[in-house]
Structure 1
């Protein structure tokens, strides 16, 4: 991992490896640096206040303390800590082109960065597996108590994986190569092994598991939709009249709990897509930094690292926007936090009748089918 300390090529080495002695680098132009910092200040504000509202909603409203909402609140908390503990130092370094916080804090900032990123990824992974169990395996085993235990375990694992960077078990130096501590080039097998483990824990393992889960879920949705279509065609008008109003309502009543638990699938899928878009470039960048000396010592490394780090921070801003867009209860709770004097438009009255959607019909035979 590496971060810059001066706008020239001098550096403070924290171990004996100095792969880029005498190399030059190209910083961002002054106007572009100011633009980046302005955007990052806005991202810090949105990341903090947006995610704080999510946490407050779950904390203040007992009805919102379901297992998945506890997981989403933990994801929001990790994004808050990332916005407060890492992004401001990166913004300062971008504008000054100088690491002003010392070599030891370089290690601490690296540890905090990976800790909060790992925790956020772990929560997305847990939610994806939970959706897989509910929709594909038809097993709803996650309750609030178990969710709290899993959250505590995920924090412990994330800390254990990120902690080696702060105690000097990995290659860390402080050259003028990036606006914060990042994985840097090293030829030591132990350092490369740790870097691969870190990259696998942050991206490869979660991405593989989540991708498999969502492919299975989408396949289940497709099969159930086909069964519903075939069942509707085979059901005659006389059979419908025999069921009566109570018979038609029975499938929805039997599946109301499962229906509630599967509404978040599309939202979680969008979060997964956002995670992939934000972290795939960072993963490729980290691999090249560790294994390619030519890439790590190139003059364009500083500019590349700035763009990549900005994209990785974008995920913490992306999540609360998705919550308010996709989850009605969060959107309504957010409006409750806004003072009445700031509510320009009155709330429109809700519909008295809900639209019937084919996706809410889950039973095609005696066996329950969840989409």
Structure 2
């Protein structure tokens, strides 16, 4: 009897402390599952998202994989900017492998079925690959600024590799705390993947603000400044005819190439801004606004914005193919070689599937 009283007293104390914690901090712990009978998407939206997401996933994976393999296998493609773009393509490809499939399953089931530990790891991967991609865009933008405005072409392939190593290291350092639960994340079904949620804890707010500054606002302002400076310089040079009168012919060719590369980076920057600005705003509102986070259609809003973000990873390879001549030529040659090599393998796999379906034994 005395033992039962002690157990009851300890349970009551734990319950009171947990209730007090919820009252003081006013946010749900990550292990708490939000049960809402109206949560999730209706059938028509599920079918629509499923078809679109599968296309985005395949394009993001296959398109960026081709870019990485081209730069790795072809020595002529290993210029400084192509090495940087290959790192960006690798980050987008890994985002397609380690995040998109699980977000797709969670969108359809409205429950995270992969465990709390992997939920934290997937969030770390999400932000690490995101910050790496933004860092690469910012490095290339600054490089275009130094070339066109300052007339300094200092980025060599060796320096590009050093900058890539530094950017990956910093991205890992900023995102690693998420993998160990500091700060804690919110397991679906509030959203199709583990996300920041509403809280009044100041440390949580500080980390979210730091992440938003590092992945969006600071790079956005830096890139905007460099692009405005480049556009002003190009307009000034065009007006005065400096590029044709004061530079030798070879320099004109080089500067024309650099200007075209700047246009490509400007398009990548525009796509990045259009895809990620809504998600950055959504993340801040989810953390600071209780009314926004507990909206009835929060899951649907999260799904739209999340897959708008993922769309950037699928659009980038198309931009490379469209804008970079060497990339498009090498891509066509590489795909032709890949088709010749993979045709027998695909034929063999198809034969195995046919035999398996017909009840064959091996």
Alignment of 1:71 with 2:68, yes or no, is no
Count of paired positions = 313
Provide the rounded CA distance (Å) in 2 between the counterparts of 1:102 and 1:58: 37
Which one of 79, 82, 104 corresponds to residue 117 of structure 2? 104
Cα offset for 1:331?
0.7
Q: Aligned residue for 2:133?
A: 120
Q: Aligned residue for 2:159?
A: 146
Provide the rounded CA distance (Å) in 2 between the counterparts of 1:266 and 1:49: 24
The higher-RCO structure (CA 8 Å, 6+ apart) is 1
Residues 304-358 of structure 1: CA deviation (Å, up to 9, x unaligned): 0000001000010010000001111111111102338989xxxxxxxxxxxxxxx
Determine if contact 1:23/1:297 at 8 Å carries over to the other structure: no
State the 4+ residue runs in structure 1 displaced beyond 4 angstroms.
Answer: 15-18, 20-23, 229-232, 340-343
Structure 2 residues without counterparts, runs of 5 or longer: 1-20, 341-362
Which one of 316, 324, 343 corresponds to residue 313 of structure 2? 316
Provide the rounded CA distance (Å) in 1 between the counterparts of 2:243 and 2:141: 29
Determine if contact 2:27/2:199 at 8 Å carries over to the other structure: yes
Structure 1 residues without counterparts, runs of 5 or longer: 1-14, 233-247, 344-371
Q: Measured at CA, do residues 29 and 138 of structure 1 come closer, stay the same or move farther in structure 2, by a change above 3 Å?
A: same
Residues 225-277 of structure 1: CA deviation (Å, up to 9, x unaligned): 11019988xxxxxxxxxxxxxxx9x7212444444333301100000000000
Cα offset for 1:23?
7.2
Q: Aligned residue for 1:167?
A: 180
Alignment of 1:199 with 2:196, yes or no, is no
Q: Measured at CA, do residues 254 and 314 of structure 1 come closer, stay the same or move farther in structure 2, by a change above 3 Å?
A: closer
What is the correspondence of 1:182-197 to structure 2 with a 5 Å cutoff?
182-197=195-210
Which one of 19, 22, 38 corresponds to residue 27 of structure 2? 19
Which one of 65, 69, 73 corresponds to residue 56 of structure 1? 69
What is the correspondence of 1:1-371 to structure 2 with a 5 Å cutoff?
19=27, 24=36, 26-228=39-241, 251-339=248-336
Q: Aligned residue for 1:349?
A: none
Provide the rounded CA distance (Å) in 2 between the counterparts of 1:126 and 1:340: 33
Residues 111-134 of structure 1: CA deviation (Å, up to 9, x unaligned): 010010010010001000000111
Provide the rounded CA distance (Å) in 2 between the counterparts of 1:341 and 1:176: 41
Provide the rounded CA distance (Å) in 1 between the counterparts of 2:188 and 2:244: 66
Provide the rounded CA distance (Å) in 1 between the counterparts of 2:303 and 2:178: 21
Determine if contact 1:278/1:312 at 8 Å carries over to the other structure: yes
Q: Measured at CA, do residues 231 and 108 of structure 1 come closer, stay the same or move farther in structure 2, by a change above 3 Å?
A: closer
Determine if contact 2:112/2:188 at 8 Å carries over to the other structure: no
TM-score, length-normalised on structure 2? 0.82
Cα offset for 1:28?
1.1
